[in-house]
A and B are shown apart, each in its own frame.
Chain A
Amino acid sequence: MAPLLSLEHVSKNFGALKVIDDLSLSLGEGEALGVLGPNGAGKTTLFNLITGDLEVGAGTITFAGHDVTSLPAYARCRLGIGRTYQIPHPFANMTVFENVLAGAAFGAARREAESYRRCVELLQITNLLPKANQRAGTLTLLERKRLELARGLATNPKVLLLDEIAGGLTDTECQLLIETIRAVHGAGVSIIWIEHIVHALIAVVARLFVINFGQKLAEGEPRAVMDSPEVQEVYMGIEAE
């Protein structure tokens, strides 16, 4: 079966700096993939290339049978690529509810009144329902991250790209987040998750993809990848558990 998402020989330069260097990656339907790499390795840039926030310098991106390489971000979203931002981008002067509603109305192309139920459900899942009528700009950082998740899910994605959504959480909060992401995955949504918190990542994903200097460093079963000498060198012996 053809993969849901595939990147072939994708490169991206910022001036003289090669941020993504001839990278290929594929994601199967229903798969959950974890992306690891040191700061500045190009992880977020990789997401921006997949979503269309940035244009590739070279290479092709295929999603669900479409060549999306030159499609704008909104069109890729409507095809089923959803994301959260590492630095949350809430619609600050809209209410929390409206933030999620906008995702449902445009990403999932639902009629407004039909999506109310789904939006309330997503706010409940992300524990934001008590804040539904607040301006999103009044939320704390952690709440903003949960809003990113709710809004991304509202677009009804086939693949959800999660960019460091667990950072700064307490153990209990992190456990709840893992449960939520597992449930999203369980409902058939494919996932690519960038995260430094390796144990959270491994609790959800079946495959790891490690990048460094914009290139693939290692790929495969999480424990084997974490134990590989290349990754050990970069991560200086951080244990998987």
Chain B
Amino acid sequence: MKTTAVPLPTFRVERSTRTSWLGLVLAIAGVALLISLPWWGGEDDLRLVVEICYTLALAQLWNLLAGFAGLVSVGQQAFVGLGGYALFALTIIAKVPPIPAVALAGIVAAVLAVPTALIVFRLRGAYFAIGTWVMAELFSEIMGQLPDLGAGTGMSLPVAISRAVGATVYERETVLYYMGLVLGIGTVVLVFAWLRSRQGLALTAIRDSEIAAGSIGVNSARTKFAVYLLAALITGMVGALIYLENLRISPDAAFDVIDWTADIIFIVVIGGIGSIEGPFVGALVFFALRYFLADYGAWYMILLGAVAVIIMLLAPRGLWGLLSDRYDIHFFPVRRRVRLE
């Protein structure tokens, strides 16, 4: 179209920022440190890092769902539980070795997410949230009806299966540690890559205006469905890992809304919804509060709630939102900048 007499300026499109290079260096150093942990850390350190890893993974996935796709699910415990139960079924009944069973458990969760999505995607907003919760309860009830998987009281993982992970306690803890690390870091990398891609462009467009996204050719139903399945896949793997480490599963624990969804929502909301950095900040605050306040029982929960309310009122986009607005820092740059030359 010859609309301007002015020639087009030369330009390039940049995707990294100065802080993102710093972030990359910090990330590599951090990962190297974590990889070396089994040589210098204790068993408790390993377990704590695994817990942080899967919590961060769950937080990143919930943020992708709620912060980007607008899918405010309070039923992600469905996929933690299904992943855990799939691990038990695969290893005990189908005799699959435990490590591949963790990956397969994710696939089982993703497959079961298809009919779940067909039901809950008919609902919007608060109704969607309630629908996801109801589906999680439904799966919990179904698992409680299966005698081969311990019915309502749950069951323990046979010793032979946990031996298959590693012959000694140290070996087992080390293997579980690296699996947790791969899941945690892998999820962050995957979410980052997803948001930088075409899918991410579509998701951010939907987040900002679903109606305008449709008018420029974005298939929002398919984009959301893809995110929902991705979240179920990884959440299922996380669930399998959690119960491979726990060695005992029951419907009440595996489908617990507080542990697997409410705490995660807390982390994302106080850290900053709609950014990759937010869940990191939120997880840091969450684990720090727990470390300092765990002995205070009910007061800990009350304080946790108070912190959430205060941050929601004073900083609706979370702690990271405050920081990135003020200093324009982005460790995970998903934006594109045009530089005119």
Query: Do B3 and A73 touch across chains, with their CB atoms under 8 A apart?
Result: no
Which chain B positions have C-beta within 8 A of A120?
Answer: 8-9, 11, 338
Distance of B335 from chain A, by nearest CB (Å): 6
Given A91-B205, A93-B207; A101-B218 close (CB under 8 Å):
no
Give the number of A-B contacts (CB < 8 Å). 131
Q: Known contacts A102-B216, A151-B216; can you find 16 more A-B pairs with CB under 8 A?
A: A51-B215, A52-B214, A53-B211, A53-B214, A53-B215, A83-B215, A89-B209, A89-B212, A91-B208, A94-B335, A98-B336, A103-B217, A106-B205, A116-B11, A132-B338, A186-B1
Q: B16 an interface residue at 8 Å Cβ cutoff? A: no
**Bound state CA distance, A108 and B218, in angstroms?**
11
**Bound state CA distance, A179 and B207, in angstroms?**
34
Q: A95 an interface residue at 8 Å Cβ cutoff? A: yes
Query: Do B216 and A107 touch across chains, with their CB atoms under 8 A apart?
Result: yes
Max chain A CB contacts within 10 Å: which of B11, B201, B215? B215
**Bound state CA distance, A105 and B217, in angstroms?**
9
Query: Do A133 and B337 touch across chains, with their CB atoms under 8 A apart?
Result: yes
Tell me the A63-116 residues at the B interface (CB within 8 Å): 72-75, 77-78, 82-83, 85, 89-95, 97-98, 101-103, 105-109, 112-113, 116
**Bound state CA distance, A186 and B3, in angstroms?**
9
Which chain A positions have C-beta within 8 A of B105?
Answer: none
Query: Do A106 and B202 touch across chains, with their CB atoms under 8 A apart?
Result: yes
Q: B4 an interface residue at 8 Å Cβ cutoff? A: yes
Interface residues on A, range: 35 or more
Q: B6 an interface residue at 8 Å Cβ cutoff? A: yes
Q: A183 an interface residue at 8 Å Cβ cutoff? A: yes
Question: What would be 20 A-B contacts, judged by CB atoms less than 8 Å apart?
Answer: A51-B215, A53-B215, A72-B219, A72-B221, A74-B214, A75-B219, A78-B217, A82-B216, A85-B212, A89-B215, A91-B213, A93-B204, A102-B205, A106-B198, A107-B216, A109-B217, A125-B1, A129-B9, A187-B2, A187-B3
What does DSSP make chain B's interface, helix, strand, loop or mixed? Answer: mixed
**Bound state CA distance, A92 and B205, in angstroms?**
9
5 closest residue pairs by CB, A with B:
A107-B217, A89-B212, A73-B214, A106-B217, A91-B208
Query: Do A183 and B11 touch across chains, with their CB atoms under 8 A apart?
Result: no
Which chain B positions have C-beta within 8 A of A97?
Answer: 13, 336-338
Query: Do A183 and B3 touch across chains, with their CB atoms under 8 A apart?
Result: yes
What does DSSP make chain A's interface, helix, strand, loop or mixed? Answer: helix
Chain A positions within 8 Å of B, measured between CB atoms, are 51-53, 72-75, 77-78, 82-83, 85, 89-95, 97-98, 101-103, 105-109, 112-113, 116-117, 120-121, 124-125, 129, 132-133, 151-152, 154-155, 179-180, 183-184, 186-187
Query: Do B217 and A77 touch across chains, with their CB atoms under 8 A apart?
Result: yes
Count of chain B residues with a beta carbon within 8 Å of a chain A beta carbon: 34
Which chain A positions have C-beta within 8 A of B340?
Answer: 129
Q: B20 an interface residue at 8 Å Cβ cutoff? A: no
Query: Do A74 and B220 touch across chains, with their CB atoms under 8 A apart?
Result: yes
Which chain A positions have C-beta within 8 A of B337?
Answer: 95, 97, 132-133
**Bound state CA distance, A196 and B207, in angstroms?**
32
